[in-house]
A and B are shown apart, each in its own frame.
Chain A
Amino acid sequence: MTDELRAAPVPPASRLKGAARSLLVPVLAVVSALMIGAIIIVLSDLTFFQRLGADPGAALADALGSVWTAYGALVTGALGSPGTYLDAFASGDSGQIAAAFNPLSETLLAATPLIFTGLAVALGFQCGLFNIGAEGQLYLGAATATFVGFAVTGLPWYIHLPLAAAAGFAGGAIWGFIPGILKARTGAHEVIVTIMLNYTAFRLIEFILKFPGYQREGRFDPISKVTEATAWYPPLIEGLRANWGFVLGLAAALAVSWLLFRTTKGFEFRAVGFNPTAARYAGMSIAASTVMAMMISGGLAGLAGTSIVLGITRSLTSGISPGFGFDGIAIALMARSRPRGIIFAALLFGALRAGATPMQSATGIPIDLVVVVQALVIMFVAAPALVRGIYRIRVPEATGYEVFSKGWGA
C-alpha cells in the first residue's frame, strides 16, 4: 500500500515489468493450489491405492487421466469448448451460439457477487479495517432488496431496479454501520463484531423468511416471495443468465477506485489505514473514516446480495451464498486491494465456481474441490514467502507480508 501513497510517475516500460512481477505470486498461487487439488483428487480415489500395488504404471496413468478429465471439465464448464463455439458459428443459429456462450455467461454470473464482496473487503483493508462480515452484510442487503423487490409494485423497471438495488446497498450499509460505530466509539475490534454479526444475520434471515408477509404464500419452508420482474437485472444477452449486475459490478469497481485514489475522502481512508496516528495529527477524523468505510464496505456487500436475489434466484432463501463473503477476502488479498485487480480475481474465482458444477456432473468430483482450491489460493497469496520458498524465486518486496488486522488486545 506504500507505493500508492506516493504517486511518483513511473516510466511505462518498468510499469509493464512491475505488472508482470506483481502477477507472479497470484499466478503461482493458483497453479500450486490446482496442483494440490489434483493430488487430493487422486488420493481420494480409494481404488487408486489398491491398484498402485498391482500395477503402479497404469494406476498413475489413470490417476493423471482422471485429473485431466476433471480439470478439463472445469475449464470447459467455465469458458466453453472451442468445438462447440466453432459448430455454433458454423450453423449460424442464434440459439446455438447463445448456448455455446452459456459457460462464459455462467462465469460472469458467478463473478458478479464476488466483485462486490471483493471490493467490500478491499475497501476495508485500505482503511485498515478487516471486514469479515461481508457474508452477513450480503444477506442483509439481499433481504432488503428482496423486500423492495416484491413489496413495491407497478413501477417501471428503470425506477424499481435502482430502488431495489439501493435498498440492498442500504441494508448492507446498516449491517456495516454497527461494527463501524462500535469500533469508532468503543474500540471494539471489528473482526469479533463482524463474526458475531454474521451469525446474527443468519438467524435474522431465518426469522424473516418465516415471517408472514415475507414468506411465500402456501410454502412452509423458509423462502421469500418472488420479486417483481421489474426489479430484476436485465440479461446482457437474451437467453443467457449473465446480466447487468455484472456491469454494475464493473461500475462499482470504477467508483471505488475513484473514491479511493481520486477523492479527499478516499485519501483519508487510506491515510487512516496506513498510519492512524499520522492521520490524526494531520487533523483527519479516524472515527468518521472508520464508520464511513465500514458503511460503504457493507453497502458493497449488500449489492452482492442484490446481484444474487435480483439477478439469479429472484427470491431469498437462507442458502443464496455459499460463502461469497469469505471468497471476498481471497479476492481482495489476491488483488492486493486494488479495484481493477479485483475484477480479474473475481472472474477467476467465478470461473472456478461456474466450472465446478459441470465438473461434478461430468466426472463426479464434488464441487467442494473448488472450495479447497480457493482456500489454498488465499494461503499462497497471503504468504508470498511460501511461494518464494517453494519455487526458489525472488518475489518483489512490494508483495511482502502485509498485516491487515491489528491485534484485538487493545
Chain B
Amino acid sequence: MAIAAAPDGIVDRAALRRQRIFGIFYLLLAALAAFVLASGIAPDANSTFVLKPAGSKTGLDIPNLVVPSVVTLYVVAAVCAFLGAVQLIRGFGSRWVVILGVAVTLFVFGFLTWAAVDKSMSLIGILQLTVLKGLPITFGALSGILCERSGVVNIAIEGMLLAGAFTGAVVGSGTGNIVLGFVAAGFVGAALGALLAVLTIRYRMDQIVAGTVINIFSGGITGFVYSRVLQAHRELNEPARFPQIPIPVLSDIPIIGPMFFSGNLFLYLLFILIGLIHYGLFYTRWGLRVRAVGEHPRAADTVGINVVLTRYRNVILGGIVAGVGGAYFTLGSTGSFVQDMTAGRGFIGLAAMIFGAWTPIGAFLASLVFGFADALQARLSILNIALPSEFLQMAPYLATIVVVAGLVGRVRAPAADGRPYEKE
C-alpha cells in the first residue's frame, strides 16, 4: 500500500538489482548450456526437429530442421554469455524485456536440442500443443481481466471453467446439439458471474471469500451430478466435438499456420475476444469507464459513471467468457466431462492475467508461455527424458510469485481491485 509512493531512489535501485539479476541469470543459462547440456554428447550427433505436422492435409511440405547438437549448444551458450556480459556491464535499458525473451527462447531451443540428440522431435507438435494448452488458460485470464479491470477480484475462474465444461458436455450431448451446449455453458458462466457480482456488490461479501465459495460449490455440484447421474447415464456425457476448420490460405503458412489457423471454433473465438477486449478496454468509451471504475470508483462516480452497473456488467461478461472457455475442455478438446477436469487451469489463468499485467495481449502471451511449459512436460514424458517434470509444472506459479513480488520488475493491479464501493 505504501509501496506506490516509493521515492525515485528506490526505483533506481530496483532497476539496478534487476540488471544484475538478469546478467547473472543469462550467464547461468550459458554455463548450463555449455557445461551441463553439451557434456556427454558425441561431437557428430545431430538433433532433428520435425516441422511438418503429422497427418497434415495442407499439402505444405517443409523439410525437417537438422542441427548439429554440440555446435548449437555452444552457440546458444555463447550468445547467452554475451547477453549476460552486456547486461552486467551497461544494461539494455528499456529493451530488457526483449532481451529476456531472446535469451530464454534461445535457451529453450538449446534445451530441446539436448532432448532431441540422435532423435527426431516433433517441434511443430509441441508448438501446436502449446496453443491448445494455452487456450483455456487465456479464456480464464480474459475473464479475470474483465472483472478486475472494473475492480472485482475474480478468483472463481476455476469454478466457472469447470461449470462451463460440465454444462457444455451435458447440454451438448443431452440435446445432441453442441452449439446449444456451447451457449448453455456461456449462460451458466453468466449465472456464476452474476452470483459473484450479487454476493460481492449487493451483499458486500469479501471478494476472495465469494470466489472461494463459487470454486467449492462448482467443484461440489459438478462432482455430485457426475457421480449421481452421469455415471449411470453415459449418454448424457458424450457430446460431439467442434470440428477443426483450417483457414484456407493462412493455415498453409509454415509453423504459424498449423499453430494458429488450423484450430476449431474456440481458437478463432479467442482471437476475436482478445482483439475485442483489447480494443474495447483501451480505445472505447466503455473501456475508459471500466478502467476508471477499477482505478478510482469515487472519481468515476463523481463524473456520472454508474459504478455498480459497470461492475455488474463486467463480472457477468467475465463469467460468460470463462463459461464458454470452460466448454473448450469438453466440446473442444477431450469430449466427455471428468470430475475436476480443469485441474487448476483457472488459477493458471489468474496467474497469466497477473503476468500479462491485466492486458489481453499480455495475458495471451503469458498463457502461451505457461501452455508451452505444459506441452513440453507432456512431450518430454513421451520421449523418456529424465527430468523431474514437476518443476516444469511449477514454473508458472513461481514466475507469478516473482512478478507480484516485484523481484524483477513489477506489475500493477487496478488500484481499486478487490475493494467494495460504497456511495457516500
The answer to whether A and B assemble together is: yes
A382 to B207, CA, bound (A): 10
**B382 contacts the other chain (CB 8 A):** no
Residue of B nearest to A194 (CB): B401
Instruction: Out of B205, B209, B401, name the residue touching A197 (CB < 8 Å).
Output: B401
Whole-angstrom distance between the alpha carbons of A366 and B227 in the complex?
6
| Beta-carbon contact of A366 and B203 below 8 Å | no
Nearest CB in chain B: distance from A399 CB, A: 13
Question: Nearest-CB distance from A130 to chain B (Å)?
Answer: 6
CB-CB < 8 A to A386: which residues of B? Answer: 199, 203
Complex CA distance for A276 and B351, rounded to whole angstroms: 28
**Interface size bracket, A side:** 35 or more
Is residue A254 contacting chain B, with contact meaning CB distance below 8 A?
Answer: no
CB distance from B216 to the nearest CB of A (A): 4
Q: State how many angstroms separate the Cβ of A69 from the closest Cβ of chain B.
A: 15
B393 near A: Cβ within 8 Å? yes
- Residues of chain B lying within 8 A (CB to CB) of residue A51: none
Set A182, A199, A372, A404: member contacting B220, Cβ < 8 A: A372
**Contact assessment for B219 and A371 in the assembled complex, using a CB-CB cutoff below 8 Å:** yes
Contact with B along A332-373 (1 / 0, CB 8 A): 010000000000000000000000000000001110111110
Cβ of B217 < 8 Å from any Cβ of A? Answer: yes
Contact A383 B205 (CB under 8 A): yes
Assess whether A262 is interfacial by the CB under 8 Å rule.
no
CA distance A189 to B155 in the complex (A): 13
Whether A409 and B417, one on each chain, are in contact in the complex, defined by CB atoms closer than 8 angstroms, is yes
Comparing B37-45, B128-136, B329-337, B402-410, the segment that makes contact with chain A is: B402-410
Chain B residues with CB under 8 A of A372: 217, 220-221, 224
0/1 string, B390-424, CB within 8 A of A gives 1: 11011001101100111100001111111110000
Query: Judging by beta carbons under 8 Å apart, are A404 and B209 in contact?
Result: yes
Neighbouring B residues of A247 by C-beta, 8 Å: none
CB-defined contacts of B229 to chain A, threshold 8 Å? 44, 46
| Interface residue range, chain B | 35 or more
Main secondary structure of the interface of A (DSSP, over half): helix
Query: Given that A204-B390, A382-B213, A407-B419 are known contacts, is A368 also in contact with B227, CB under 8 Å in the complex?
Result: yes
User: A409 contacts B413, CB within 8 Å?
Assistant: yes
- B420/A403 in contact, CB under 8 A: yes
Is B212 interfacial (CB-CB < 8 Å)? yes
**Contact in complex: B404, A189 (CB < 8 Å):** yes
Q: Which residues of A contact B407 (CB under 8 A)?
A: 186
> Hey, which chain B residues are within 8 Å of A326, CB to CB?
212, 215-216
A407 partner, pick from B354, B390, B394, B417, beta carbons under 8 A? B417
CB atoms of B212 and A378 under 8 A apart: yes
* Bound CA span A401–B203, Å: 8
B228 CB–A CB distance under 8 Å: yes
Residue of B nearest to A410 (CB): B1
- B206 neighbours in A (Cβ, 8 Å): 382, 401-405
Among A186, A376, A408, the one with the most B-chain Cβ atoms within 10 Å of its Cβ is A408
Interchain CB contact under 8 A, B210 and A382: yes
Most buried by A among B216, B221, B418: B216
Across-interface contacts of B417 in A (CB, < 8 A): 407-409
Residues of A within 8 A of B215 (CB): 326
Contacts of A46 in B (CB 8 A): 229, 233
Within 8 A of A (CB), among B262-309: 294-295
Contact of B217 with A376 in the complex, beta carbons under 8 Å: yes
Pick from A40, A204, A382: contact of B209, CB below 8 A.
A382
A385 adjacent to chain B (CB < 8 Å): yes
Could you say which residues of chain B place their CB within 8 Å of the CB of A371?
Answer: 216, 219-220, 223-224
The reply to whether B397 and A409 contact each other, CB–CB distance below 8 Å, is no
Minimum CB–CB distance from A198 to chain B (whole Å) comes to 8
Which of B153, B204, B223, B401 meets A401, CB within 8 Å? Answer: B204
Question: Chain A's nearest CB lies how many Å from the CB of B418?
Answer: 3
B403 to chain A, nearest CB (A): 9
Is B98 interfacial (CB-CB < 8 Å)? no
- Among A46, A132, A375, residue most surrounded by chain B Cβ atoms (within 10 Å): A375
Contact B208 A405 (CB under 8 A): yes
- CB of B217 within 8 A of CB of A401, answer no
Residue A207 at the B interface, CB < 8 A? yes
CB-based contact A409/B412 at 8 Å: yes
Q: A182, A195, A408: which contacts B405 (Cβ < 8 A)? A: A182
Q: Mark A78-118, 1 if CB is under 8 A from B, else 0.
A: 00000000000000000000000000000000000000000
B225 touches A (CB below 8 Å): yes
B54 at the interface (CB under 8 A from A): no
State in angstroms the CA–CA spacing of A40 and B153 once bound together. 29
Chain A residues with CB under 8 Å of B391's CB are 203, 207
CA distance A203 to B374 in the complex (A): 13
* Known contacts A408-B413, A409-B417; is-contact A375 B213 (Cβ 8 Å): yes
Let me know if A333 and B209 touch, CB within 8 A: yes
Asked if B59 is at the interface of the complex by the 8 Å CB criterion, the answer is no
Cβ–Cβ < 8 Å partners of B155 in chain A = 191, 195
B220 and A203 contact, CB distance less than 8 A: no
A44 near B224 with CB under 8 A, answer yes
Q: How far is the CB of A191 from chain B (nearest CB, A)?
A: 6
Q: Is B49 on the interface with A (CB-CB < 8 A)?
A: no
B249 at the interface (CB under 8 A from A): no
Contact of A188 among B204, B212, B406, B412 (CB under 8 A): B406
A162 on the interface (CB 8 Å rule)? no
- List 7 additional A-B contacts (Cβ < 8 Å) besides A186-B405, A197-B397, A405-B208: A178-B401, A187-B1, A191-B155, A401-B203, A407-B416, A409-B412, A409-B413
A-B residue pairs in contact (CB < 8 Å), sample of 15: A45-B228, A188-B406, A192-B400, A193-B404, A197-B397, A199-B347, A203-B393, A204-B390, A366-B228, A371-B220, A372-B217, A376-B217, A386-B203, A402-B206, A406-B1
